[in-house]
């Protein structure tokens, strides 16, 4: 139980740091039929940075990378039947951004497959799991080459890797090496495409307890910028707060109670066992054993039993932990919490077992000292 509570708390803290403590600002709101605001001025970004609870703000301008596919069959289903039409050129536009200072932050790049593109390489990272490849309705595949158009420049590029998906900023689906993209597009075209006021911001909040307050403050700041709204994982925040305030303390309490209960059961069971076998001590005394020698023998006996029980329980616990996995649904994905056995807790059982053995041996020694030899040998 202590291992379960520690892993639960550790996994939730890691998830909070990576996902739940982020708020994004982008053009996802209703503009009332009017054109959306072109971007967020520097004064707004500075105001966001000054909010209480905000740890960092990453603001940048995202723009489209268009994937161009040739000879794509499109199946149309209508009341008149199914028809298939082959289009010579079809493009799928996805939000993209360069990686680096002033663009998509390198801190949020954590690859689960592949590698980062080189400075001179026509490559990109996939940051989403959408079915972009309309030829076979599949996500972008690592090590596959695609024809892309960025700004007015068209070229071939390879998907070199896949980033860990955070659905809060997965709208920025394609991530480029900024040095390569400037060389490929030219400074003027690059600046026209990804320069100007930022239209996407990722806000890192200190803790999950501050996320809701930060999001509400962002709503006030953004009220004059049509279409821009703050987005955060509201359901996950509520669940994580409940887990922190209720479930995790409960697991810690159960862990402490479980240790005390197991220790008490082991101790009293050992005491009862020695009490019914006091004739053994009496027999050893009749053979000339000293009480100190009996104390050592009793300790060695229960210590050996404890070590054997430790080995068996360690094997059973390790086996059971492989099948015990907690699952939580957060922002469209599963948060998996495994329960590996902590080596610290595992080996702490040894001194506890030896302590119980020592106390039992001492109690037995005191009891034998106050017991007449004839009484001790009565059951022999």
Residues 4-47 have pLDDT tens digits of 666 666 666 666 666 678 999 998 876 666 667 789 999 999 99
118-132, 203-217, 323-337: lowest mean pLDDT where? 323-337
Are residues 266 and 338 located together in one domain of the fold?
yes
| Number of alpha carbons in the 13 Å side-chain half-sphere of residue 375 | 8
Does the pLDDT at position 199 exceed 80?
A: yes
Spacing of C-alpha 115 from chain mean position? 21
Statement: residue 340 has pLDDT above 70:
no
Of the given ranges (273-287, 300-314, 352-366), which has the lowest mean pLDDT? Answer: 273-287
Residues 139 and 224 in one domain: yes
User: Which of the given ranges, 108-122, 268-282, 317-331, has the highest pLDDT on average?
Assistant: 108-122
Is residue 34 within 8 Å of residue 248, measured between CB atoms?
no
Instruction: Assess if residue 113 is contained within a domain.
Output: yes
Residue at 307 is within a domain = yes
Considering the domain architecture, whether residues 154 and 193 belong to the same structural domain is answered as yes
pLDDT of residue 297: 78
Higher pLDDT, 300 or 190: 190
147 and 201 in a common domain: yes
Q: 173, 208, 232 — which closes off a domain? A: 232
Q: CA-to-CA distance for 352 and 370, rounded, in angstroms?
A: 27
- Domain assignment present for residue 305? The answer is yes
Give the pLDDT mean for 89-106: 90
Q: Shortest CA distance to 208 belongs to which of 4, 2, 6, 14?
A: 14
pLDDT value at 189 more than 90? yes
Q: Are 288 and 308 within one domain? A: yes
Statement: residue 376 has pLDDT above 60? no
The C-alpha atoms of residue 321 and residue 6 are separated, in whole angstroms, by 14
Is the pLDDT at 75 greater than 80, yes or no?
no
Paired strand residues for 42: none
- Residue 103 sits in which domain range? 20-67+93-232
Backbone dihedral angles phi then psi of residue 95, each to the nearest 5 degrees: -60, 140
Residue 221 and residue 262 share a domain: no
Structural domains in the chain (count): 2
Across 20-29, 46-55, 79-88, least confident range: 79-88
Q: Per-residue confidence at 242, pLDDT binned at 50, 70, 90?
A: low
Q: Whole-model pTM? A: 0.66
What is the β-pairing status of strands 200-205 and 145-150? unpaired
Supply φ then ψ for residue 36, to 5 degrees. -70, 160
Write down the pLDDT at residue 34. 64
Start-to-end Cα distance in the chain: 43
Which pLDDT value is given to residue 379?
Answer: 52
* Mean pLDDT value of segment 72-101: 81
Query: Over 90: is that where the pLDDT of 52 sits?
Result: yes
- Could you tell me the pLDDT band of residue 373, with boundaries at 50, 70 and 90? low
- Cα 60 to Cα 39: distance, rounded to the nearest angstrom: 10
Q: Which of 232, 257, 277 is the last residue of a domain?
A: 232
Which of 179, 204, 232 represents a domain boundary (last residue)? Answer: 232
Q: Which residue has the higher pLDDT, 205 or 36?
A: 205
**H-helix segments, the chain:** 2-15, 42-49, 178-185, 187-194, 208-221, 234-242, 248-275, 278-286, 291-321, 343-369, 373-376
């Amino acid at each position: 139980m202590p291992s379960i509570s520690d892993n639960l708390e550790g996994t939730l803290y890691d998830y909070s740091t990576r996902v739940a403590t982020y708020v994004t600002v982008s053009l996802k709101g209703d503009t009332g039929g009017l054109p959306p605001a072109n971007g967020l001025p520097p004064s707004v970004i500075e105001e966001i940075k000054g909010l209480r609870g905000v740890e960092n703000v990453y603001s940048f301008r995202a723009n489209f990378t268009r994937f161009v596919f040739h000879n794509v069959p499109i199946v149309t289903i209508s009341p008149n039947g199914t028809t298939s039409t082959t289009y010579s050129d079809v493009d799928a536009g996805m939000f993209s951004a360069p990686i680096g200072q002033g663009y998509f932050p390198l801190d949020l790049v954590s690859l689960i497959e592949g590698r980062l593109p080189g400075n001179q390489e026509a490559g990109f990272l996939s940051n989403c799991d959408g079915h972009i490849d309309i030829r076979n309705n599949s996500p972008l595949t690592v090590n596959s080459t695609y024809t892309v158009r960025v700004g007015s420049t068209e070229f071939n590029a390879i998907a070199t890797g896949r980033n860990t998906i955070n659905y809060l900023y997965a709208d920025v689906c394609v991530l480029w090496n900024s040095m390569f993209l400037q060389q490929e597009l030219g400074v003027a075209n690059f600046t026209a495409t990804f320069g100007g006021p930022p239209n996407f911001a990722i806000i890192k909040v200190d803790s999950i307890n501050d996320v809701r307050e930060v999001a509400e403050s962002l709503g006030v700041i953004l009220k004059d910028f049509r279409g821009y709204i703050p987005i955060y994982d509201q359901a996950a925040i509520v669940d994580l707060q409940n887990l922190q305030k209720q479930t995790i303390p409960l697991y810690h309490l159960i862990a402490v109670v479980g240790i005390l209960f197991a220790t008490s059961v082991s101790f009293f069971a050992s005491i009862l066992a020695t009490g019914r076998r006091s004739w053994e001590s009496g027999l050893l005394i009749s053979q000339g054993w000293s009480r100190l020698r009996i104390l050592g023998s009793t300790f060695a006996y229960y210590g050996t039993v404890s070590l054997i029980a430790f080995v068996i329980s360690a094997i059973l616990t390790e086996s059971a932990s492989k099948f015990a996995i907690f699952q939580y649904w957060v922002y469209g994905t599963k948060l998996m919490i495994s329960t590996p056995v902590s080596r610290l807790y595992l080996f702490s059982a040894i001194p506890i077992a030896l302590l119980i053995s020592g106390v039992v041996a001492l109690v037995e020694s005191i009891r034998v000292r106050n017991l007449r030899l004839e009484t001790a040998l009565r059951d022999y």
